[in-house]
């Protein structure tokens, strides 16, 4: 069975591989004061290789108004984060079907070992950062990274608030004291990468070949202009190194709150006030989040075992940008990362770190070193060709570590096999590359 058709090993209770969604249409209304969210989610989906007697969706604790299956009222059960929609007759294998869920409630983060994930109330507004399992905190979904779909999102909020999500803004209409923002994300998107920000923010346009927009608290505009001023050059450099930017545009949001870490979404990234210091102090994170648009967002892991394919390349991108922009060379950053890793326990297997360690710093640093080791082994020209062909061949697709090894195998034989075995499948830290 294809990995994309299997349950996620780390989160087997999330998502259902027996069907796939190809489009979500979300029509929602949000009131920040009472933190009240309500509306309709319509899912257009396809059954898998077996008939479906029920459609199982991931959805947190909302009040369900009604549920329709192919336009008809359906029986359902909603408990334990699962909405089970009963089919009056089994949905035939391979058949298209629609589910429509009317719901409302007070959204809150999904509990996890990393804290709350998903919908989060801000001091003034709300923010969605769902990686890896927070999407059910605000809409019913098939919450697994391998199930990628297009999105039409219509969200109504009080007019002083700006509504931002990934994708193209189709319209903004104002009636009385509310505004409705309609966005289309046509590129296939996993549920965890649908980000939303609702807050009083100022719009900033950045120049460049790829449309780039920012939404920033008014008090931070000057610092933002300095800290993100080189993002258009960064976009140009990454487009040369990794291949053409894979989406219609790129949006940066600075939430008016401090955040532990920035978070990527499809065509979008969210930073906290603490990441804008007016001194380029966090520019490496600007590079990291932008790189995720290629590695993680366009080319998406089939399940979370393969997270190094997201974080290793994004970490390497930090080093590559530093080298390109006149800072320390990638080799210097790699040596620093190696020295740090050498002082830590050697009990992490990069290609399958386990759920507990999937966001461990060692996944990022060792992942970046594995990519740097590949560059050292191949040389810059072949390495760049490998990256561009990887992102082109797997554009908007779903991948595993084995897929990447097979792709890299076209550029090297036994030498690369040994390199990957040492860096990806063994716990001990290999010798420093090169």
Q: What is the pLDDT of residue 286?
A: 98
Q: Is the pTM of this model over 0.85?
A: yes
Return the percentage of the chain with pLDDT > 90, whole number: 96
> What are 124-164's pLDDT values in tens digits?
999 999 999 999 999 999 999 999 999 999 999 999 999 99
pLDDT at 95 over 90: yes
**Binding annotation:** 288, 292, 311
* Rounded average pLDDT over 396-419: 94
Q: Residue with structure tokens 């399992």?
A: 133
- pLDDT of 206-239, one tens digit each? 988 999 999 999 999 999 999 999 999 999 999 9
3-state secondary structure string across the chain: CCHHHCCCCCCCCCCCCCEEEEEEEEEEEEECCCCEEEEEEEEEEEECCCCEEEEEEECCCCEEEEEEECCEECCEEEECCEEEEEEEEEECCCCEEEEEEEEEECCCCECCCCCCEEEEEECCEEEEECCCCCHHHCCCECCCCCCEEEEEEEEEEECCCEEEECCEEEEEEEECCEEEEEEEEEEEEEHHHCCEEEECCEEEEECCCCCEEEEECHHHHHHHHHHCCCHHHHHHHHHHHHCCCCCCCEEEEECCCCCCCCEEECCEEEECHHHCCCCCCCHHHHHHHHHCCCECCCEEECCHHHCHHHHHHHHHHHHHHHHHCCCCCHHHHHHHHHHHHHCCCCCCCCCCCCHHHCCCHHHHHHHHHHHHHHHHHHCHHHHHHHHHHHHHHCCCCEECHHHHHHHHCCCCCHHHHHHHHHHHHCCCCCCCCC
From the annotation, which residues make up the binding site for Zn(2+)? Answer: 288, 292, 311
pLDDT value, residue 7: 82
Is residue 3 predicted with pLDDT exceeding 60?
Answer: no
- What are the pLDDT digits (tens) for 349-378? 999 999 999 999 999 999 999 999 999 999
Cis peptide before 189 (omega within 30 of 0): no
pLDDT over 70 (residue 410): yes
Q: Which pair of structure tokens corresponds to residue 415?
A: 């030498």
pLDDT bucket at 413, cuts 50 / 70 / 90: confident
Q: Domains of the chain (ranges plus CATH)?
A: 1-197 (2.60.40.1730), 201-293 (3.30.2010.30), 300-425 (1.10.390.10)
Over pLDDT 70: what percentage of the chain?
99
* pLDDT over 80 (residue 1): no
The CA dihedral of 51, 54, 59, 64, to the nearest 10 degrees, is: 140
- pLDDT over 90 at 5, yes or no: no
Tens digits of residue pLDDT in 158-177: 999 999 999 999 999 999 99
**277 pLDDT exceeds 80?**
yes
pLDDT digit string, tens, across residues 321-342 = 999 999 999 999 999 999 999 9
Catalytic residue (one of 30, 250, 338, 364): 364
Residue 376's pLDDT is what?
97
Annotated active-site residue 151? The verdict is no
**Averaged pLDDT for residues 290-299:** 98
Q: How crowded is residue 393: how many other Cβ atoms within 10 Å of its Cβ?
A: 13
> Residue 178: is its pLDDT beyond 80?
yes
Return the pLDDT at 415: 83
* pLDDT, position 2: 60
Catalytic residue among 283, 289, 318, 365: 289
Q: Average model confidence (pLDDT) for the chain?
A: 96
């Amino acid at each position: 069975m294809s990995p994309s058709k299997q349950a996620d090993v780390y989160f087997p209770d999330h998502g259902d591989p027996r069907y796939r969604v190809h489009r979500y249409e979300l029509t929602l209304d949000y009131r920040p004061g009472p933190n009240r969210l309500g509306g309709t989610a319509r899912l257009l989906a396809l059954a898998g290789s077996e008939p479906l007697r029920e459609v199982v969706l991931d959805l947190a604790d909302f009040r369900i108004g009604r549920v329709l299956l192919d336009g008809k009222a359906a029986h359902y059960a909603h408990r334990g984060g699962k909405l089970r929609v009963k089919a009056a007759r089994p949905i035939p294998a391979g058949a298209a079907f629609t589910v429509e869920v009317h719901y409302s409630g007070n959204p809150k983060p999904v509990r996890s070992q990393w804290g709350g994930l998903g919908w989060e109330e801000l001091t003034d507004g709300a923010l969605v950062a769902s990686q890896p399992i927070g999407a059910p905190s605000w809409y019913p979904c098939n919450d697994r990274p391998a199930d990628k779909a297009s999105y039409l999102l219509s969200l109504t909020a009080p007019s002083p608030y700006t509504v931002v999500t990934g994708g193209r803004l189709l319209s903004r209409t104002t009636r009385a004291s509310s505004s409705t923002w309609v966005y289309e994300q046509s590129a296939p998107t996993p549920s965890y990468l649908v980000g939303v920000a609702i807050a009083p923010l100022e719009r900033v346009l950045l120049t460049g070949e790829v449309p780039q927009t920012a939404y920033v608290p008014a008090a931070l505009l000057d610092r933002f202009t300095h800290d993100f001023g080189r993002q258009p050059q960064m976009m140009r450099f990454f487009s040369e190194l990794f291949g053409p930017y894979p989406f219609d545009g790129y949006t940066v949001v600075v939430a008016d709150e401090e955040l532990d870490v920035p978070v990527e979404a499809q065509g979008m990234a969210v930073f906290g006030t603490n990441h804008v210091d007016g001194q380029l102090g966090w520019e490496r994170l600007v590079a990291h989040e932008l790189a995720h648009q290629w590695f993680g967002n366009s080319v998406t892991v089939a399940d979370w075992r393969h997270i190094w394919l997201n974080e290793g390349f994004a970490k390497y991108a930090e080093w590559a940008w530093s080298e390109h922009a006149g800072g320390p060379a990638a080799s210097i950053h790699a040596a620093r990362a190696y020295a740090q890793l050498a002082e830590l326990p050697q009990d992490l297997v990069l290609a399958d770190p386990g759920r507990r360690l999937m966001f461990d710093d060692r996944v990022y640093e060792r992942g970046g070193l594995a990519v740097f080791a590949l560059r050292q082994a191949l040389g810059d020209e072949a390495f760049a060709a490998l990256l561009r062909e990887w992102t082109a061949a797997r554009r908007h697709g779903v991948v595993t570590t084995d897929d990447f090894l097979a792709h890299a195998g076209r550029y090297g034989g036994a030498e690369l096999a040994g390199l990957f075995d040492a860096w990806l499948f063994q716990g001990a830290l290999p010798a420093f590359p090169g």
